[in-house]
Amino acid sequence: MRLYVNIDHVATVRQARGTDEPDPVRAAVLAELGGADGITVHLREDRRHIQDRDVRLLMETARTVVNLELAAASDVLALAEGWRPHQATLVPERREEVTTEGGLTFSDATRAGLGDAVRRLKDAGIRTSLFIDPDPESVRASLELGADAIELHTGEYANTRGAERTEQLGRLHRAAALGRSLGLGVHAGHGLTYENVAPLARVEEIEELNIGHSIVSRAVFTGLERAVRDMADLIRRARR
């Protein structure tokens, strides 16, 4: 299982004061030293944290790979075509949300835009993933739109406890198994922490986890390299 570290919230701290520190690009270096298999950044339409400059420098300096999260209907799509990250993950985006609150919807109104975005990214040679809720309809819709992979939204799993969490884990497992059976790469992320990651890491069909806030939070106390290493160790132990 690959661990991609999301460094958005390093940029959130920087933007709170409008200065040049902490630098998310430097954070990416430390994350890679700690064992990250890739770096994830979300370049939002409102540029609330990650900036264009950050992605441009990451593309020049990352020693692993860059996974660029973006909305389908935004100026970022054209930038992605030029930057050509290893992977682009299409996500829903609303100005009023604090962070991404759920998976993409596949209504008649959104399918055309998503399909066009997937085609443009793939024509640019970019591996394309869709951030979706863990339900069969969304998995199949992702395949129909031509995505290479899906990223399952794990927020409901992360925000529940006891029997309800077990139910959500089963839901994720079923969606992952379906995705794998259809030939899609299967990723997962949102709300994952050091306390809840192990059960999900045991789901063999999931090949990549995207984790950010929990790692950055621990890094305040331990340093980023150590925080990434601790998470990577948890994932590896769960896979044994």
The residues annotated with a catalytic role in the active site are 42, 69, 190
Q: Is the peptide bond before 22 cis (omega within 30 degrees of 0)?
A: yes
- Please answer whether residues 136 and 178 qualify as being in contact, where contact means their C-beta atoms are separated by less than 8 angstroms: yes
Largest CA distance in the chain: 47
What distances in angstroms separate CA 156 from CA 14, 44, 101, 146, 153, one per listed residue? 29, 23, 10, 26, 8
The SS3 call for residue 36 is coil
Backbone angles phi and psi of 185, in degrees to 5? -70, 145
